[in-house]
Chain A
């Protein structure tokens, strides 16, 4: 009997606690360990700098590690929606982890802000908004630069994973529209000890330019291999390579590389007319004040931008209901879809009901490696 009584008491306490929960709860699932930890750790650092309130409502942030494992990501997402009753799910930074999380978000009708460019079939991204630029948006900027440089043929050297594959698809489509041909396609993996064979074949095909699709410090090795095999044309890198690790590992040999990048990492060099300049500077100053000069990177910028869009959307959603309720979550989604152009540190977002990618074509910026530093190509 006593046991039953205490059980009832416990249940009552829980119910009270549940109803008193009016804070905005954000469930964050990040790859703090595993292969994508290089992306997840900076975002985690950025979130530590978030304010205590948004629009006067207290902010409760729960950060869990998904270890770059889709199973863990799904587990975290389930915990967020069933136990923590979160208002927003943030994450993950790794594409393979973020994809299955979107199904949980949709089922629970909770907004997911994905920090990676996750491809989802039409109709499946009703509750998912991407904070990372889509490849077509970045490919647009890159192809624009290639056209200006008179590039007609391109050799492709990319990761054998989803990132490499989706770049190949999106880049080829954008390039063909502009009369640029991909004449050779080779793959490699981050942990390969050598890409000599692939480089040989690509250089033998003699394209005007080479496109390397890899991330972070992994982007340096293929670049160097192509140079070592005597390739004299231009070498392009994608936005996942737009970090200082490229120069740290590649040194002199990545000099002259063209890299497409979001505006955040080159905030100071942006022309004053660029819509992102102000927000990007804010991000860089805040982050580098906390973590030291040169610590900026594009992933933490996505974390910063998540806060920017929430600060704009939450006041709109609060009109419809209290945090923790279904009304609030639905209103939040509607607010994100209808709030219009939002300038964030990584470009300009314009989400609509049909388009949950959102970045406009002004987003991508071409930079060149000059004397071991980034220089914006006008």
Chain B
């Protein structure tokens, strides 16, 4: 093992680690605001990569129809709830329309644009719009009415959502995998390393998203409101912050991060309908390293997972996954011995 091999492995590990970092951040984000351990986070990655792949073939991706169905369902739930609470027809209709509006626009644009084979960038934007729109709908349909249930109930719901999304993915995308074209075909040589344009996009986007999230939470009022919900739901509600609104925003952000991650890894590997799960799980391992509440620790953890994976593949490829997932054990042990933390519910 010489320097060039080490550097190639490092590059490979950090490239994957950057994607895991995004997913880890999304997991931390969702957990801290809603207490949901969001297992289906990885599914958004697969949906993102595969929706773009179907756009490339000039067809309307199945996810568009799913989006419409989910939007209809969520709108019906909103209308019903608003009707029961207020008994006012116009208000109920308004609530339903609010839920329907964005998904309808995203779906309508996609159906119109898909057969015209727009440029890759337009297809990517449409993909991000579709997958992001799933976020709040998933929250509305699966989690919102259970928002006050225990973490365990929410975790079980997550498992259910994961299976539903994987099954639907198989239905829409088929069993075979796809590989997307690179967004940037350039190559740079740095010593023994050859960095592809796509890898540099991965670094850039990951870094930008991390900085954006950080700014969002520390600088904006809405970010602070989300944080307040995370710290104390009841207190936040007393201060006039809508916890349901916070949940939906959080899920939208998680879906957005998932969709972007999907676009990022789509050109570097073959993505299958069920590929998202393992990728999401590695993000989850990273999030656990951050104790499910620290963004910087999760990001560092993700890079660590990526590096361990790269070097593990090199030394003992047959045991790679074993090595990565066994990492969680000592960390959990250390956290529970040293942490002395308390759950606040």
Where the two chains meet, the residues of A that have a C-beta atom closer than 8 Å to any C-beta of B are: 33-39, 41, 160, 186-198, 200-201, 204, 216-218, 220-221, 245, 248-249
Contact = CB atoms under 8 A, between A and B. Distances in A.
Please report whether the interface of chain A is mostly helix, strand, loop or mixed according to DSSP.
helix
A40 to B, nearest CB: 8
A201 B275 contact: no
A193 B265 contact: yes
Nearest to A249: B179
A245 B15 CA distance: 26
A204 B1 CA distance: 10
Nearest to A214: B270
A194 B269 contact: yes
Contacts of A193: 16, 19, 265, 268-269, 275, 279
B269 A38 contact: no
B301 to A, nearest CB: 17
B43 interface: no
Given A193-B279, A194-B12, A200-B8, A221 B178 contact: no
Interface residues of B, number: 34
Report the 10 A-B pairs with minimum CB-CB distance, sorted nearest first. Answer: A38-B175, A197-B313, A197-B314, A217-B177, A196-B12, A37-B175, A187-B318, A187-B317, A217-B176, A221-B270
Given A37-B175, A190-B272, A194-B269, A200 B9 contact: yes
A195 B321 CA distance: 13
24 contacts: A33-B167, A33-B170, A34-B170, A36-B175, A38-B176, A186-B317, A187-B320, A191-B272, A191-B274, A191-B277, A193-B16, A193-B269, A193-B275, A194-B16, A194-B310, A197-B12, A197-B310, A200-B9, A201-B317, A216-B175, A217-B176, A217-B272, A245-B176, A248-B176
Contacts of A189: 278, 320-321
A201 B314 contact: yes
Contacts of B183: none
Contact of B177 (A36, A37, A194, A218): A218
B101 interface: no
Contacts of B318: 160, 187
Contacts of A204: 5
A33 B172 CA distance: 12
Contacts of B58: none
Nearest to A40: B175
Contact of A188 (B5, B277, B317): B317
B31 interface: no
A50 B106 CA distance: 44
B174 interface: yes
Given A194-B313, A216-B176, 13 more contacts: A35-B175, A37-B175, A38-B176, A160-B318, A187-B318, A196-B8, A196-B310, A197-B310, A200-B314, A217-B179, A217-B272, A221-B269, A249-B179
Contacts of B83: none
Contacts of A196: 8-9, 12, 310, 313
A220 B270 contact: yes
Contacts of A39: 175
A191 B312 CA distance: 16
A127 to B, nearest CB: 30
Nearest to A189: B321
B317 A221 contact: no
B203 interface: no
A183 to B, nearest CB: 15
Contact of B313 (A35, A37, A190, A198): A198
A197 B177 CA distance: 22
A39 B176 CA distance: 10
A192 B271 CA distance: 9
Contacts of A35: 175, 274
Interface string B174-189: 1111110000000000
